[in-house]
Amino acid sequence: MNALSRRLWTLAPSWRYLNNGSFGACPRAVLKEQDRWRARLERQAVVFMDDELPGGLRRAAADIGGFVGARGEDVVFVDNATTGANAVLRSLPWRRGERCLLADTAYPAVRFAAERLAAERGFGVDYARVPARLGGPEEVVQAFERALRPRTRLVVVDHIAAPTALVFPVRQVARLAKAAGARLLVDGAHAPGQIPLDIPAVGADYYTGNLHKWLFAPKGSAILWARRSVQDGLVPVVTSNNAGQGFLEEFAWTGTRDPSPWLSAPAGLAFHRRLGAGRLMARNRALAWQGASLVAEKTGFSIPGPRSMYAAMVPVVLPRRWGSGRPGAERVHAALQKRKVEVPVFPVGGELYLRMSAQAYNDLDDFKALARVLLSLL
């Protein structure tokens, strides 16, 4: 599996970059398109903001929506998945004593947002304890089922969990939430462009997903989708000049900003399509597994979950003597960076997980180089 010419990206040649999961690399062609949008804005900003931007955003939403099975009218742009999740959390009319349920591996910013808001509004936060090492997706569903309470109002589930890289069975969790009378927000920060995605078919009420990780859009590009029946009252974190004018209008203007990451998201999608879309996702998934298996075989480290639950990110568990918690993770990460390898290390359940990503610009040589570095650290 050869990487596509790395010249299509501006990646530093001296690094082995195996962390598309944290921050994807934006292709040169997409950055150029972003420059073109910025140039258009700066020629006549009033005409651009008043006359060109609204239509441009709607066309971009229709294009991206089409890729994820959604109608453009149900999709708005936000800066990132963190902002999308915050908007949903803050928009719900929480009542005292209600509960919000998240997985214990939920993204820290989303957990903190729920906890802060809970303290302000008087609701409670519960965590589904998803086993760090598990045999199959049913264990995720069981963890959510056990943690549901009679007053659970909102369930938040990651589509792909950040530290463990597990693809969660979001459809089953959606059925569970619905049966319990709770709303469901899917945090799909890693999903668009990494796995085939039909958002309405998930059965959630809200879905937020980044375009700047796996869909090659510039940084600051994400979507928030909402089922039509819950769009009323769903408002951005920053109050809009268009307050009270409805879902699309409110999110279309949250103060003066550079809208080029959103307007050039279709160029990211076009790039993804040029590389094969479904074929690219399948290729990355196969490479991530092959690469992680190679690393596991050379080092003796283990892959903690079943192959069927991973997409283009796969972790291995590091030896216990390398440490645990944040300090351990930072130490190992720093040692890898010193050797010009970029791979994130996460503390999970008392162990350290090294999460490898495979994107179009990676090939097996990157994983071989990582294995050599790990062996030298052993």
Q: Does 190 bind ligand PLP (CB under 6 A)?
A: yes
What CA–CA distance (Å, rounded) separates 144 from 177?
9
CA nearest neighbour of 354 among 321, 315, 322: 315
Cα 47 to chain centroid distance, Å, stands at 34
Contact status, residue 153 vs residue 121, Cβ threshold 8 Å: no
Q: Does 99 bind ligand PLP (CB under 6 A)?
A: no
What CA–CA distance (Å, rounded) separates 32 from 24?
16
Length of the chain: 378
The CB-of-150 to ligand PLP minimum distance in angstroms stands at 27
Question: Is the CB of 33 or the CB of 79 nearer to ligand PLP?
Answer: 79
Helix 364-377 to helix 325-338 angle (10° resolution) is 110
Q: Does 162 bind ligand PLP (CB under 6 A)?
A: yes
Pairing of strands 16-17, 99-103: unpaired
The CB-of-180 to ligand PLP minimum distance in angstroms stands at 22
Q: Does 210 bind ligand PLP (CB under 6 A)?
A: yes
What CA–CA distance (Å, rounded) separates 334 from 185?
34
Contact status, residue 92 vs residue 118, Cβ threshold 8 Å: no
Q: Does 187 bind ligand PLP (CB under 6 A)?
A: yes
Phi, psi (deg, nearest 5) at residue 8: -70, -15
Question: Is the CB of 7 or the CB of 129 nearer to ligand PLP?
Answer: 129
The CB-of-151 to ligand PLP minimum distance in angstroms stands at 25
Q: Does 173 bind ligand PLP (CB under 6 A)?
A: no
What CA–CA distance (Å, rounded) separates 258 from 256?
7
Residue 299: how many other CB atoms lie within 10 Å: 19
The CB-of-112 to ligand PLP minimum distance in angstroms stands at 11
Question: Is the CB of 82 or the CB of 299 nearer to ligand PLP?
Answer: 82
Q: Does 107 bind ligand PLP (CB under 6 A)?
A: yes
The CB-of-355 to ligand PLP minimum distance in angstroms stands at 10
Contact status, residue 114 vs residue 157, Cβ threshold 8 Å: no
**What number of chain residues touch ligand PLP (CB under 6 A)?**
12
Residue 90: how many other CB atoms lie within 10 Å: 16
* Residue ranges in 25-84 that form contacts with ligand PLP under rule CB under 6 A: 80-82
Question: Is the CB of 158 or the CB of 205 nearer to ligand PLP?
Answer: 158
Question: Is the CB of 299 or the CB of 362 nearer to ligand PLP?
Answer: 362
Residue found under tokens 């820290």: 108
Q: Does 105 bind ligand PLP (CB under 6 A)?
A: no
Q: Does 158 bind ligand PLP (CB under 6 A)?
A: yes
Q: Does 195 bind ligand PLP (CB under 6 A)?
A: no
Sequence letter at residue 10: T
Give the per-residue contact string, 260-299, with ligand PLP (x = CB under 6 A; - = no): ----------------------------------------
Q: Largest alpha-carbon pair distance within the chain?
A: 61
Taking CB under 6 A as the binding criterion, the range among 39-47, 92-100, 182-190, 362-370 that sits at the site for ligand PLP is: 182-190
Q: Which of 53, 189, 269, 311 binds ligand PLP (CB under 6 A)?
A: 189
Binding interface with ligand PLP (CB under 6 A): 22, 80-82, 107, 110, 158, 162, 187, 189-190, 210
